[in-house]
Amino acid sequence: MSTTLFLILCLNGLQYGMLLFLIAAGLTLVFGVMGFINLAHGVQYMVGAYLAFAYVQLTGSFMLAVILSLVTALILGLLLEYFIFRHLYNRDHLDQVLATFGIIIFLNELAKVIFGPATLSIAPPEFLSGSIQLTETLRYPIYRFVTIIAGLVVALGLYLTISFTRIGMLIRAGATSAEMVSALGVNIQRLFMIVFGVGAMLAGFAGVIAAPIFAIEPGMGDNILIVAFVVIITGGIGSIGGAFFAALLVGLIDTLGRSLATEILSTIFNPSFANQIGPALASMLIYILMAAILVFRPKGLLPAKGVS
């Protein structure tokens, strides 16, 4: 194992972690503030990726596609909130699961009908397509760097908004007691709508920036949704800071594990045995992490204050 490879893996892990954070942030906010379980959050990530693909085809410009995708993802999120989710906040969790499950089925199939079942891809924009020399032997694609930075910027923006603005204060208060906030004369319905819209937009944004890196395909949001759940359980539900650190941790562990598990195991066991259980163990690592957190810190790494 060379240091160069290790560094690249770490950067990939960071980048995957940032993607996870963008998805988990919206999920954990919606969850913390409204107590709403939105399984369709993953599908909004998929929608973001497909929107990026469609707009790149349409306009030919990646940056234009990013902006248009974000606006469309926001509008879609608000429409879903207005027509469906709004009516489910006070229902039991089973109803929320079923309705959002129905949305997943519909949107996955719709993507298949419109764009076909095959995987699609788009090229990163021209000015971000090169790679930069980090050390003498290490080159890393600029685009992946930019996604890491984009994730950091969003994280900082969310942190500042939630800690220092009026709307952030309302979100924190809403997470503790939505009823109380409503009784104090705040339009809680509108607050929910804003939180939901922003969450949908963040998931869409994650899909957009993932589009040049991963394959765009129907159902691409389903698996990453579950990893996002692992992230918010690990980080503590409703906690943006927790989601951030947990996302990085999960991203790093998953990426490093997949590349290194077999190698590490083969230093202890014989190679054929290591080859057999290495991949299995690697895919289990993040869930083992989650289980360990549950045992030792049931509220997560950085639990949100006041959320019971």
- Distance between CA 178 and CA 172 in Å, rounded? 10
Three-class SS of 64-107:
HHHHHHHHHHHHHHHHHHHHCHHHHCCCCHHHHHHHHHHHHHHH
If the CB atoms of residues 186 and 281 are measured against other proteins, the closer one turns out to be: 281
If the CB atoms of residues 55 and 192 are measured against other proteins, the closer one turns out to be: 192
Question: Is 79 a residue that touches other proteins (CB under 8 A)?
Answer: no
Q: Which position among 78, 120, 284, 301 is part of the footprint of other proteins (CB under 8 A)? A: 284
CA nearest to 45, candidates 201, 197, 178, 155: 201
If the CB atoms of residues 173 and 230 are measured against other proteins, the closer one turns out to be: 230
Torsion angle (degrees, nearest 10) of CA 217, 56, 224, 242 = 180
Q: Which position among 113, 153, 167, 183 is part of the footprint of other proteins (CB under 8 A)? A: 113
Inter-CA distances, 49 with 11, 43, 221, Å = 22, 10, 10
Residues sharing a CB contact under 8 Å with residue 307, sequence separation 6 or more, in sequence order: 32, 175, 176, 237, 238, 239
Size of the site for other proteins (CB under 8 A): 45
Q: Which position among 14, 33, 68, 107 is part of the footprint of other proteins (CB under 8 A)? A: 107
Window of 31-39, 54-62, 189-197, 206-214 that interacts with other proteins by CB under 8 A: 31-39
- Distance between CA 280 and CA 258 in Å, rounded? 9
Residues numbered 215-274 forming contacts with other proteins, rule: CB under 8 A: 222-223, 226, 229-230, 232-233, 237
Cβ 35 to other proteins, closest distance in Å? Answer: 7
Question: Is 276 a residue that touches other proteins (CB under 8 A)?
Answer: yes
Q: What do you get for the CA distance between the two ends of the chain, in Å? A: 45
Q: Map tokens 């690249």 to a residue.
A: 8
Cβ 24 vs Cβ 38: under 8 Å: no
Q: What secondary structure letter does DSSP report for 117?
A: S
- Distance between CA 258 and CA 262 in Å, rounded? 8
- Token pair belonging to 60: 């030919």
Q: Which position among 67, 71, 87, 189 is part of the footprint of other proteins (CB under 8 A)? A: 87
Q: Which position among 109, 156, 163, 189 is part of the footprint of other proteins (CB under 8 A)? A: 109
Cβ 25 to other proteins, closest distance in Å? Answer: 16
Q: Site mask, other proteins, residues 146-185, x = CB under 8 A? A: ----------------------------------------
If the CB atoms of residues 63 and 113 are measured against other proteins, the closer one turns out to be: 113
| Residue ranges in contact with other proteins by CB under 8 A | 31, 35, 37, 39, 84, 87-88, 91, 93-95, 97-99, 101-110, 112-113, 222-223, 226, 229-230, 232-233, 237, 276, 279-280, 283-284, 287, 290-291, 294-295, 298
